[in-house]
Structure 1
Amino acid sequence: MRLDIITCLPDLFDGPMNQSIVKRSQTKGHVEIAIHNLRDYATNKHKNVDDYAYGGGAGMVLSVEPIDKCISGLKEQRTYEEVIYLTPDGETLNQRMANQLSLNENMILLCGHYKGVDQRVRDHLVTKEISIGDYVLSGGELAAMVLADALIRLVPGVLNDESSALTDSFQDNLLAPPVYSRPVEYKGWKVPEVLTSGHEANIEKWRHDQAVKRTEERRPDLLD
């Protein structure tokens, strides 16, 4: 998988994209991440990539030209399955969407900023719009990091145990069951006996029952 991320704040990605699983995925060659500074495509000497909105109102808007130049340049090098714009009014990200997108080979993630991007970018250049929740951030960079992390961990070979991702919350419309580790007892708090029984069928049934119970209590909407 290759992710080309377009942003006017590239330094924000230095830490998150170079730590833990995301870093290992790049080191192993399973994932390639390229950060593109939108200001490199500005057409004025001050490297401005925003302008006032027609019709007035507060806030600046990312201009269409530098975004078009960046995306067009990338498309000359390879074919992209999706050009994704991170925006609060996009389709809400969920595990099913992440599963589907993780099958793609090349994607562009466009980070909005200020009051967003010129609508012509959304009309003519973007193929999918994604939100990570019903709230507003200062820019799309954090949302792009969340999306990238959700996708990267699904790429074959990234996790040491690929079955781990298949047992995460939401993979089967259920929340994950409780998990325990050593010691078997701490301050009188004991691990459920079934988990130390070694009886695989009973353990799987317990985990499924607990997942259903937890989902009913916390996210009954998933069972609908």
Structure 2
Amino acid sequence: MNGTLVVSGDNVKLQCFSRIKLDVFFLSKEEEPWRTRKKGSKAQDNGQQTTFHLDHVTSTEAGTYRCYGAFENYSFVWSPPSNPLQLEVRGSYDKPSLSSMSGTVVASGHNVRLQCFSRIKFEAFILIREDAPQFTQRKSSTAQDNGQQTTFHLDHVTSIEAGTYRCYGALSEDPNVWSHPSEPLQLEVRGPAGGIVSPVNQVRLSLAGLVLLALVVVLAEACYSHKRSFPWLR
């Protein structure tokens, strides 16, 4: 299944699955319940499943989806609904701007303020972190300087908050239709020792540790071989 945030024009696959041997699945969009799709199921992984295709999605496809199952002879009796899947389509409006009021390199434990701004009258802004898709914040905007803006607060940051951030704008009438993303903002967090702890630097530190470990192993092997060659040196 594709992620819930997709780009306008993408092809999306929504997959329904059940351990019960249901014959058909129905895909329903909560905002438009009359546009229900029906599709037969196939046996898969000790259950039944089917895949619904949404090709070349636009803002029209954005919304909340659920699927239901039924037996062929009782197709009018549906199962309870699945958990909701929120499909959000981005790329319908011009991108906002994202800036840090605290700078892009901050000390661990400090508070960070990220500000999103647009000339378009978005009622809400959404902040995401590219390397942590589960991180999403949405806040209402306020009028400011012939546009709309909001400020996101990241309090007492640690290396966990280091990463690449972007923000999007959305209108209240279509909350699942997002703008193009802002330019990326790279946030780096200084650790207790003063070194920068960013995702890239974390990888470098890990590699340095592996190289050091390999060097220790080589030295230990060399010492062992040397003692075997010259036993009187023990």
Q: Normalized against structure 2, the TM-score is what?
A: 0.22
Q: Which has the higher helix share?
A: 1
Query: Which gives a bigger RCO, structure 1 or 2 (Cα 8 Å, sep 6+)?
Result: 1
- Structure that is richer in strand per residue: 2
Calculate the TM-score normalised by the size of structure 1: 0.23
